[in-house]
Structure 1
Amino acid sequence: MASSNSKPVFPEFPTPLPADPSDEVAREFGPLLRIYKSGRVERPLVPPPVDPGHDAATGVVSKDVHLGSFSVRLYLPRAAATTNNSSKLPVVVYVHGGGFVAESAASPNYHRFLNKLAAAAPALGISVDYRLAPEHPLPAGYDDCLAALKWALSGADPWIADHGDLARVFVAGDSAGGNICHHLAMHPDIRSSPLKGAVLIHPWFWGSEAVGEEPRNPAFRAMGADLWFYACPGSSDMDDHRMNPMAPGAPGLGTMACERVLVCAAEGDFLRWRGRAYAEAVAAARGGGLGGENAAATGVELLETMGEGHVFYLFKPDCDKATEMLDKMVAFINAP
C-alpha cells in the first residue's frame, strides 16, 4: 500500500507531434472560403442546412428533388390549394448567392426567404442547389442552373404541372446568383421560352474599368476579381463577359430573353454602382432610360435601398427595408 504522502501517479502522454504542414491554410477569401494545403475546404459562414417541410410561419410546404449532379428545393404556398387551370401561380426560379463557392438552397437564410417570397407573391418557388467551386469549378454552377431552369420550364414535376403558370416564369437571385440569372436570361436556349422577368439582387458583376463611384485603384479592382478567378480557373480576365456583361465584345443586352428586369442595389454595397450601371445599360439596350415612364417603355426597374449593405435582407429579414424589397419583388412578379 502506498504511504500517505505518496504522490498520485498520472499516465504519461506522448509529446505532441508538430502540426501537420498539410493542415495549414493555403488560400482564404474573407469569411466565405478557407482552403487548406491538404485540400480540405471550409465555409465558416455557412450554418447547418435545414430540411424541407411545412413552414408554420407562412404555411408554405417545401420538398427536395434530386436531378443528377444537383438538386432543387420546391416551395408550394397555401394559395396553391385554390389554384385551377385558369389561376395557376407564377413560377420563381431562385439562385442563391455566396460567391459561387458557398451557401445552398438548404441554408437557413435562403430557406426562410423562399418561404416568405412564395407566401407573399404567392408563387411556386424553385431554389437551385447548384454545385459549388472549388470542388466543381465554373461553369458547373452556370450549367446546373440552366439545366434547372429548363427542367422547370418542362413542367416535369407534379407541383409545377398542377400549380405553375409556365407563361409566367421568373428567375431571381442575389450576388453570384444575380450574376447567374443574367446569363440564364441571355442564354440562346431560353429564347424559345422567354421569361416573364428577371430579378437581380445586388448582382456580382465587375470589370477592369470603374463605373460610377467605384474605386479606380488597380489593386482594388484586382482584389474585387480575385475570388472570381479562383472559382473560374479557366478565366484570367475580369472583363470576361460572365463577370462583366457590359464589357466590349459581350453579348448584346438587347437579346435578353425576358420581358422585364428588376435590379436591386444597396447604398452600403461596393457593388452598388455596378448594379446601377447594369440597369442603365439594359434600359439603353431597350431604347430608353431608368425611372418614371421609362420603366413602362423598357421594362427595366431599379430599386436602391439606402442605409443597408450587401444582401442585408438575408440577415435582417424583418427590418423595414427588407419588407420594402420583398413588397417590390411581389409587385414586380404580379404586374400585368
Structure 2
Amino acid sequence: MEPTKSDNGDVLHEFFPFFKVYKDGRVERMMPMEKLKVPPSEDAEVRSKDVTISTEPAVLARVFAPRGTGPAERLPVLIYIHGGGFSIGSAFHRVYHEYVSLLMARARVVAVSVEYRLAPENPIPACYDDAWAATRWALGHADGNGPDPWLNEHGDFGRVYITGDSAGANICHNVAVRAGWAGLPAGVRIAGMALVHPYFGGTDDDKMWLYMCPENGGLADPRLKPPPEDLARVGCEKVLVFVAQKDHLRGRGLWYREELKRSGWGGSVEVVEHEGESHVFHILKPQCDKALDLKDKLVDFLRGNAVGKA
C-alpha cells in the first residue's frame, strides 16, 4: 500500500481505524486506553487481582473470584479474551473489568481475563501466543498445585469456558484449536466457547490484520480464515456464536457456524442474533435491553444451561 500524508505533513506507513504508524515508527492510537484502565477491586460480591503469567514476554491477567464461596465449593473456570482489533483494549480497561466482574458474579465462575500484547508494536502472533500461555497457566491449576490459590481452591477444571468479543473471539478460536491439537491436562474439559461478534476475515479489516502480522499466509491464513482441519479439532464440546444484524462481521459469524458443522467437528453450535444492533453493541451500550439479553444468554451458557433464541 502506498504511503499517505497526514494533516501535519508526516509520512504514514499505513492508516487504519485504530491506529496510524508514522515513517519514524511512532504509533498513534485513535482510541488510547491508558487513562481508562482501573486497578483490581474488592466489593461485596467480587474480588479481583492481577497476576503475572510470564515476564519474558510480559503476559499479565486479571483473576476474578466471587465472595461467599465455601471452602469446598468448585466453580466453572472462565477464560476471557478482550476485543479491540488486536491493537487496542485491555483486560484492565474499566469496561472489560466491569463486564467480566458482572459475568463472574452472575454465572458464579472463577475468571481469568487475559492482558495480551497489542499490535503493531508486538506483531501478531504475539496476541495468540499470549492467550495460549495464559490459558495453559490457568489450566495448570487442575491438579490443585498451581501458583494461584483462588484457582487451586475453587476452580472446577471439568467445566472450563472460553469467551471473547471481536478480535478476542478470533483469538478464542485459535486457543481452542491449539487445545485440540495439543491436548489438555488430565482432568481438564473445555465445556464451551462463546464467540461474540467474531472476526474471521472477509472484510476491509483484513488489510489491517495482514499489516499487523508480517509473516502471514495471505487471506487464506488459517488464523484469519479457519480451514476445515482446524475447525474439526476445535477443543471444546459446544460453541455459541453471537451476531448482530447491522454488524459488518455478521456474515463471518454465520460462516463460522456453517463451516464448523461441515468440518466433522463433533460438538454442537448455536447462533444467537440481535436485530437492529451493530458491532460490540453490548460493550458500547451495556445497559440497553439487547445488551442485557446478550449478557443473560451468555450467563446461561456459562451455567451449562440451554440458550434460548433472541
2:149 to 150, 155, 158: 158
2:285 to 307, 316, 322: 316
1:190–1:144 distance in 2 versus 1, CA, 3 Å:
farther
Q: Are 2:244 and 2:278, in contact at CA under 8 Å, matched by a contact in 1?
A: yes
Q: Are 2:233 and 2:265, in contact at CA under 8 Å, matched by a contact in 1?
A: no
Aligned to 1:131: 117
| Partner SS, residue 82 of structure 1 | coil
User: 1:55, CA displacement in angstroms?
Assistant: 5.5
User: 1:129, CA displacement in angstroms?
Assistant: 0.5
1:333–1:229 distance in 2 versus 1, CA, 3 Å:
same
Aligned to 1:74: 63
Aligned to 2:207: 226
| Partner SS, residue 206 of structure 1 | coil
TM-score (norm 2): 0.86
2:158 to 167, 170, 182: 167
Query: RMSD of the alignment, in Å?
Result: 2.1
* 1:328 and 2:297 matched: yes
1:260 to 238, 241, 245: 238
* 1:197 and 2:178 matched: no
Aligned to 2:45: 59
Instruction: Report the more deviating stretch, 230-239 or 303-312.
Output: 230-239
User: 1:284, CA displacement in angstroms?
Assistant: 3.4
Alignment size in residue pairs: 286
| Partner SS, residue 145 of structure 1 | helix
Q: Deviations over 1:232-283 (max 9, x none)?
A: 111151111110014xxx5242221111111111111111011011112223
User: 1:134, CA displacement in angstroms?
Assistant: 1.1
1:55–1:280 distance in 2 versus 1, CA, 3 Å:
farther
In structure 1, distance between residues paired with 2:231 and 2:269? 12
| Partner SS, residue 229 of structure 2 | coil
Q: Deviations over 1:274-301 (max 9, x none)?
A: 101111222333579xxxxxxxxx4211
In structure 2, distance between residues paired with 1:20 and 1:178? 36
User: 1:100, CA displacement in angstroms?
Assistant: 1.0
2:261 to 283, 308, 314: 283
In structure 2, distance between residues paired with 1:45 and 1:190? 38
1:281–1:136 distance in 2 versus 1, CA, 3 Å:
same
In structure 2, distance between residues paired with 1:138 and 1:306? 33
| Partner SS, residue 131 of structure 1 | coil
| Partner SS, residue 192 of structure 2 | strand
In structure 2, distance between residues paired with 1:173 and 1:63? 20
Q: Are 2:41 and 2:49, in contact at CA under 8 Å, matched by a contact in 1?
A: no
Aligned to 1:272: 250
The amino acid across from 1:64 in the alignment is D
Aligned to 1:88: 74
When Rg is computed on C-alpha atoms for both structures, the one with the higher figure is 1
Q: Deviations over 1:115-174 (max 9, x none)?
A: 111111011111110111111111111111101000000112111111111111111111
Q: Are 2:14 and 2:20, in contact at CA under 8 Å, matched by a contact in 1?
A: yes
In structure 2, distance between residues paired with 1:26 and 1:273? 30
* 1:44 and 2:30 matched: yes
Aligned to 1:177: 168
The amino acid across from 2:208 in the alignment is L
Aligned to 2:3: none
* 1:145 and 2:135 matched: no
Aligned to 1:9: none
Q: Deviations over 1:56-103 (max 9, x none)?
A: 5x731111111221100111122xx23343x31111111111111111
Q: Are 2:38 and 2:94, in contact at CA under 8 Å, matched by a contact in 1?
A: no
1:164–1:274 distance in 2 versus 1, CA, 3 Å:
same
* 1:304 and 2:273 matched: yes
TM-score (norm 1): 0.79
In structure 2, distance between residues paired with 1:37 and 1:333? 46
* 1:113 and 2:61 matched: no
Q: Deviations over 1:182-212 (max 9, x none)?
A: 11111122445441111111111014xxxxx
In structure 2, distance between residues paired with 1:55 and 1:268? 37
Instruction: Report the more deviating stretch, 311-320 or 185-194.
Output: 185-194
